[in-house]
Amino acid sequence: MQDIDYKGVNTLLRTYELQLLTEADYERMLKAPSLKEALDVLKGTGYQFDAKEVLVDKAFEKFLMRNLAEMYEELFMATPEVEVVEIFSLRYTYHNLKVLLKQRFSGENLEHLLIPIGKYSLESLKKLVDTGEGDDEDPILIEGVQESIRDFEEAHRLEAATVFMDTYYFKHLRAISTRVNNPTITTITDEMVDLYNLSTIVRSLKQKKPRGFLYTVLSSSGTIPKQDLIEEAKNGSAAVIRKYFMGKTYSSRLADLISDSSNEIDALQLDKLMDALTYEQVAAGLYQPFGPLPLLGYLFAKEKEVTNIRLILVGKDNQISEEILRERMRPVYGS
């Protein structure tokens, strides 16, 4: 795929970017004295929903995901290389597979948890999970589903759905990155997997999970061998950073997250750093006329917009202070 092939979709993105919420929009939502006023602000930005209905049922996720799904559908059709869109949409595909596998294993109806975003239709994913046989889905995805079903049938572990889908999600993401063969996308993938592993270590140590838990949940698709991370984790998450992340370009920023008093890592700040690093990778190419980076930049900005809107609306509904909401918000991109 040549960079010039993205000229058409990048022109379209300029229109989409104008519709992203601005700093001023967020300020008005944050300062709104109630959920109703916050919804009134959001309504004026182009988001479509029935404000009266939302005030009653508080179904924020429903209209936010509908807006996001429409955006992804349009970009899947417009982009010359759909796997670039999958860099951010793939997690929805694997979320849906988790839901469908849990539904199969437990016998519960969980379809209300499905999100209609991804390269493959929900119907095709349902067929794959029901039969264990795929059609035109990626072989990695098919293998992950088959392995999850096999494990459940042998050991009857409901968690097989989550464990296998998380593992195969990163394996699939790495395969996409390799096929696209773009240095920025490779770096984004490296950082996503490595920092996911670090975040998982931080959280598992705080929750006092057994060592075997890390063998199950850490990804082998990063740049640091999984076994090495597990071995060093016994010395704490700060030790993992000092031993295996000091050669990374973002090492000093990771080191800043280590508490002087407790020698522990703030998981929320680590998540924010993960977002910042991804944006920095795509930001340099946001205004390039060609190539996939403007597309990735817009997708990332839109995802963070939805995250921030959700945070503010839930916060207003629960009377969370403006100060706390500001602390928890992701940076505003693209405005």
Length of the chain: 335
Average pLDDT over every residue of 104-124 = 97
Tokens 């395969």, located at residue: 175
Residue 319 lies in domain: 1-81+292-323
Q: Is the pLDDT of residue 335 over 60?
A: no
Q: Residue 74: which CATH number?
A: 1.10.132
Is the same domain home to 276 and 187? yes
Instruction: Take residue 143 and report the two structure tokens written for it.
Output: 């293998």
Beta bridge mates, 258: 265
Same domain, 247 and 303: no
DSSP-assigned beta bridge partners for residue 265: 258
Task: Based on the fold, state whether residues 281 and 189 are members of the same structural domain.
Answer: yes
pLDDT, residue 1, reads: 56
Q: Which residues are CB-neighbours of 207 under 8 A, at least 6 positions away?
A: none
Q: What is the pLDDT of residues 259-298, one digit of tens each?
A: 888 889 999 899 999 999 998 998 876 677 778 888 999 9
Q: Among 154, 181, 208, where does a domain finish? A: 181
> What is the mean predicted confidence (pLDDT) over 244-267?
93
On whether residue 335 sits in a domain, the answer given is no
Token code pair at residue 112: 């209300």
Q: Do 188 and 281 touch, CB atoms closer than 8 A?
A: yes
* Residues 330 and 304: beta-carbon distance below 8 Å: yes
pLDDT of residue 331: 80
Report d(CA 313, CA 235) in Å as an integer: 40
What's the chain's Rg over C-alpha atoms? Answer: 21
Where does a domain end: 181, 216, 250?
181
Whether residues 21 and 11 share a domain: the answer is: yes
Alpha carbon separation from 120 to 7, 161, 310 (Å, rounded): 25, 18, 26
What is the value of pTM for the model shown? Answer: 0.92
The answer as to whether 44 is a domain residue is yes
- In the chain, the number of structural domains is 3
- Position 146 scores a pLDDT of 98
Per-residue pLDDT, averaged over 104-117, amounts to 97
The pair phi, psi for residue 265, each rounded to 5°, is -110, 135
Contact present, 193 and 174 (Cβ < 8 Å)? yes
Distance from C-alpha of 142 to C-alpha of 171, rounded to nearest angstrom: 12
**25-58 pLDDT tens trace:** 999 999 999 999 999 999 999 899 999 999 999 9
Tens digits of per-residue pLDDT, 156-170? Answer: 999 999 999 999 999
Residues 50 and 141 in one domain: no
Q: Is residue 6 part of a domain?
A: yes
Average pLDDT over residues 110-133: 97
